[in-house]
Amino acid sequence: MKNKIKVALIQQRNTADLALNFRKSITEIKNAANRGSKLIVLQELHQSLYFCQTQDVNAFDLAQTIPGPITDELSELAKSLNIVIVASLFEKRATGLYHNTAVVLDTDGTIAGKYRKMHIPDDPGFYEKFYFTPGDLGFEPIKTSIGKLGVLICWDQWFPEAARLMAMAGAEILIYPTAIGWDPKDAQSEQQRQLDAWMISQRAHAIANGIPVISCNRVGFEPDLTCHTNGIEFWGNSFITGPQGELLAHANETDENTLITELDMKRSESIRRIWPYLRDRRIDHYDDLLKIYRD
């Protein structure tokens, strides 16, 4: 990876109009590239509304193959702009077999690799187990022309094991396309605690592994069309940190925003020399991590 690289994320408000959502993403990708960004990250399931609020078999019509129409267009865009794009798709692997997948398009337009979401939530308003089979590609960084990217997705961001395994495999940046928000009926104090926990958790991954983090969330209210819940107010707050968890760029909770910042990748080397967490890991005493719980 180059010593310095300009990166961007696109925090977007989505509608039921798939074409409009995608055109908006394309426009912001071009704007970010014109401002010098070499790596551009889109939010989780960026083409559509967050359909996992309900369990609806018709939503499977949103799934696409990889390669497919979306990746074909993004590939051409990546090649024409000489950039790397991280996109998040509802992948149709086979009839009846679907994944929540991030795909990385390299500067030459090729698919550098993909990551299938490993941790799948199943909560009111987040019925992802109905749609997605857990990933089977493991925690493997994706090699690109600008470096090795540790791509994870949303619920994965709460698990330190996932971040650690990516870092141990050589990831130089952790990237989290995300769709997370509040239940509107929650008290403001509870909403603040949830947001703080979300940011602290990911900033801690940067600190514990000595590498930057890019976290890209959506923004805006999306209703539950079945009226079983109060819908979700996606809280935005997308951010980019350095290897000590320091905030380099931070969006607000209400507006669409394209965040751009320059990462000094030499800092990761410096920080890891001062804070050698990888050196001091006691792997000879970590066997119990392979258990679900110590009874």
Residue numbers annotated as active site: 44, 117, 154
* Widest distance between CA atoms in the chain: 56
Angstrom distances, CA of residue 290 to CA of 65, 76, 293, 294: 33, 42, 9, 10
User: Beta-carbon neighbour count of residue 171 at 10 Å?
Assistant: 24
189 in Cβ contact with 152 (< 8 Å): no
DSSP letter for each residue of the chain: --SEEEEEEEE----S-HHHHHHHHHHHHHHHHHTT-SEEEEPTTTTS--GGGS--GGGGGG-B-SSSHHHHHHHHHHHHHT-EEEEEEEEEEETTEEEEEEEEE-TTS-EEEEEE--S--EETTEEGGGT-PPP-S-S-PEEETTEEEEE--GGGGG-HHHHHHHHHTT-SEEEEE---EE-TTS-HHHHHHHHHHHHHHHHHHHHHHTS-EEEE--EEEE--TTSSS--EEEE---EEE-TT--EEEE--SSS-EEEEEEEETHHHHHHHHHS-TTTT--GGG-GGGGSS---
Rounded CA separation 43/25 (Å):
10
> One-letter amino acid identity for 35?
R
CB atoms closer than 10 angstroms to residue 269? 11
